[in-house]
Amino acid sequence: MGEADENGRAMTVGGLRGLLRDREGELLLDLVYVFALTRISERLIVDFSTQRQVVLPEFGQTALLLLALWLTWVRAAIVTSAFDAQKWAIRLVCVLVMFGTMIMAVTLPFAFGDRAVVFAVTYVTIQLGTPVVLLLGRYDRERHTPARALCWAAVSAVPWIAGAVLFPQSPARGVLWTLALALDYTGLVHGWPVPGLGRTRIDDWKLAGEHIAERFQQFIVIALGETILLTGITFAEQFTPDRVVPSVVSFATTILMWRIYFHRAGAVLPAAIEAIPSPARLGRSAFHTHLIIVTGILATGVGHALVIHHPVLHEDPLWLAVILGGPALFLVGRSRLEYEVFARVSPSRVIGLLTLAALAPVTVHLPPLIATSTAATVLVGIAAWDTIRERRHPGEAPSPPGSSRQQR
């Protein structure tokens, strides 16, 4: 996230390849996110089990909290992909994000209630603390990028803190926090433009393409692991014969999503990012793509947890938003990833999405287990299609839009 200085503190893309080892701090950070994602899933389960007149506001609040957690992870991934993770300042950033994320996760169920101040202060501390540490570590020759990020974080801190302190149990809190989060995402996407300091261009992000791709892969594994964890916890709480089948379907669905994500596009993402002149450009696009994929995985896990709780004789049309919507969202993100890597989208993804959409009116009044089983069947078809294509076209090379291969 900045220009390399003469002392070599900030690495070029080529020089960073040797830093892809000794990343235990990042792995520990990801384990914290297992806890955080589980808390998000638990909150979503409550959202879909609450009174109908408040479900949309509750769902919106949970989505906002997920976006805040995702942004903290993205900022940490950028820092560790741009600089030597063994430097003291980068280790400190990892510890700051790690501890802050844990505190944020603890407050999640009541983040819009009596724990709002703790959540907001912790989030703001992470956003302000990261650029401050980078400034102290002198990781940018002119210190412009951390200074720009710090300015934007200071501005967004105002609605975060004001919403938590001044508007208890008020819709105004949600409005202010939405504004604050929009500022944070806008700053990241546009390079934190500041009068007199300019903005950070995407090409200024000297990211290790292979490393940032591995970080995406690791987070997908974390999200899938959280789904298995949620399935196991839910089944353990109600260990009865009628919950065996929905638990098996949930586990099978997770394995299918793992297979579909890592088939070709997910597996060769590191090579695809390295294949283009500006790895940061594809890396930035992949931030948004993987947010869609992760949201789809979490929603799918929540849908299965609801079904394990109520395997039969419980028909709630709203549950289809996660039972069918979760896999659909996953396929949307996976299709975008495939386009980013290969500049095309497999017909199986489109057919799968259309099938899930067609199933919604058919399964709306059927037991939810039928809906989850049918969605799993759609994923089986996509995985089978991928296997057949792989045998017919082995070793397909990535060709992302903008790469030298694509330009030819």
| C-alpha span between 390 and 19 (Å, rounded) | 32
Residues linked to residue 10 through DSSP beta bridges, in sequence order: 83
The pair of three-digit structure tokens given for residue 354, joined into one six-digit string: 């259309």
Backbone angles phi, psi at 194, to 5 degrees: -135, 130
Q: Which residue has the higher pLDDT, 15 or 323?
A: 323
Q: Is the pLDDT of residue 304 over 90?
A: yes
Phi, then psi, of 30 in degrees rounded to 5: -65, -35
In this prediction, residue 293 has a pLDDT band, given cuts at 50, 70 and 90, of: very high
Helices of type H across 191-243:
209-237
Within 13 Å of residue 351, how many CA atoms lie on the same side as its CB? 12
> Of the given ranges (73-87, 230-244, 323-337, 352-366), which has the lowest mean pLDDT?
73-87
What band does 98 get if pLDDT is binned at 50, 70 and 90? very high
380 membership: H or E segment, kind and range:
helix 368-392
Q: Which pLDDT value is given to residue 51?
A: 60
213 pLDDT band, cuts 50/70/90, is confident
Q: Which residue has the higher pLDDT, 384 or 85?
A: 384
**Contacts for 147 with CB less than 8 Å, ≥ 6 apart:** 131, 135, 194, 197
Residues 166-211: tens digit of each pLDDT: 988 778 899 999 999 999 999 998 889 998 888 887 666 677 767 8
Q: Mean pLDDT throughout 379-392? A: 86
The amino acid at residue 9 is R
- Among 66-70, 170-174, 185-189, 285-289, the range with the most confident prediction by mean pLDDT is 66-70
pLDDT band at 406 (very low <50, low <70, confident <90, very high): very low
In whole angstroms, give the CA distance from residue 370 to residue 351: 20
Q: 378 pLDDT exceeds 70?
A: yes
Span between the terminal Cα atoms of the chain, in Å? 30
Model confidence at 359, in pLDDT bands (50, 70, 90)?
very high
What's residue 54's pLDDT? 53
The whole-number pLDDT of residue 11 equals: 38
Over 60: is that where the pLDDT of 12 sits? no
The answer to which of 10-14, 35-39, 197-201, 231-235 has the lowest mean pLDDT is 10-14
Question: Tokens 């997770």, residue?
Answer: 254
- pLDDT above 50 for 230: yes
How many Cβ atoms are within 10 Å of 233's Cβ, its own excluded?
Answer: 14
Does residue 280 or residue 369 have the better pLDDT? 369
Assign 3-class secondary structure to 96-122.
HHHHHHHHHHHHHHHCCCCCHHHHHHH
Among the listed residues 356, 357, 342, 343, the one whose alpha carbon sits nearest the alpha carbon of residue 398: 342
Residue listed under structure tokens 């009541």: 110
186 φ, ψ to 5°? -65, -45
The predicted pLDDT at position 7 comes to 38
Of residues 296 and 85, the one with the higher pLDDT is 296
> What is the C-alpha to C-alpha distance for residues 358 and 330, in angstroms, rounded to an integer?
17
Could you give the percent of the chain with pLDDT greater than 70?
81
- pLDDT bin (cut points 50, 70, 90) of residue 294 is very high
Residue 404 reports pLDDT greater than 90: no
| DSSP at 167 | -
- What is the band of 57 on the pLDDT scale with cuts at 50, 70, 90? confident
* Percent of the chain whose predicted confidence (pLDDT) is above 90: 49
pLDDT band with cut points at 50, 70 and 90 for residue 90: confident
Q: Tell me the pLDDT of the chain averaged across its residues.
A: 84
362 pLDDT more than 60? yes
Q: What angle do CA 253, 293, 278 make, to 5 degrees?
A: 140
Please give the pLDDT value at position 8: 39
CA dist., res. 99 & res. 183, Å (int): 23
- Using DSSP's 3-state secondary structure scheme, residue 23 falls into coil
Which pLDDT tens digit goes with each residue over 103-158?
999 999 899 988 999 999 999 999 999 999 988 887 665 567 888 999 999 999 99
Judge whether residue 215 has pLDDT over 50.
yes
Do 369 and 249 touch, CB atoms closer than 8 A?
yes
Query: What is the pLDDT, as a whole number, of residue 403?
Result: 53
DSSP 278: -
59, 60, 63, 69 alpha-carbon torsion, rounded to 10°: -120
